[in-house]
Structure 1
């Protein structure tokens, strides 16, 4: 049985393979960045957990709205400089801060066994 593919089909197939190979490399880079983000978040939460214990021992509130506002403005500026949507960066930080405050509240209440 003869091969019915044409040179154009072969070129298309080669182009598709090149695109797939590039996609694979790009996804690997994304996966590496995701892993780094997870490790960075874990490291960040180790520090915020220590802060939570310090606040609880010192009778400080779990939340510090003034600092949070400064951090939001700082992160928005960094995002803009990095060509990342500042609104997205703010949502991301707000999500993290909400989780940190939740942890601090649990630490203060003595319910932090699984943090």
Structure 2
């Protein structure tokens, strides 16, 4: 019985993990378009004001969802840093 419950929990986790990957893939497709636009128009790869607003917004969403805001900020910061790295590569013609 306990093994069945554990298996169900793990299946739920696996499904959520798959959904997260698909959502991240969609997000990165859009940010790639943003990066191309920035490269074509001479905009900087990073936008610190936008990043700060996004982090504040996601911290609040995390708090509202009973998720550690510190964790959500670290997660988003990792994503933002990766996006900026991609935008820099697009700017540099890589």
Shorter-chain TM-score range: over 0.9
Per the normalisation by structure 1, the TM-score is 0.81
Match of 2:5 among 22, 33, 36: 22
Partner of residue 59, structure 2? 76
Matched residues, number: 94
Match of 1:89 among 61, 72, 93: 72
More helix by share: 2
Q: Once superposed, what is the RMSD of the aligned Cα atoms? A: 0.3
Query: Using CA pairs below 8 Å that are at least 6 residues apart, which structure has the higher relative contact order?
Result: 2
In our comparison, the structure showing a higher alpha carbon Rg is 1
Match of 1:55 among 38, 44, 51: 38
2: CA distance between counterparts of 1:45 and 1:35? 15
Secondary structure (helix, strand or coil) at the match of 1:31 reads: helix
Structure 2, gaps ≥5 residues long: none
Structure 1, gaps ≥5 residues long: 1-17
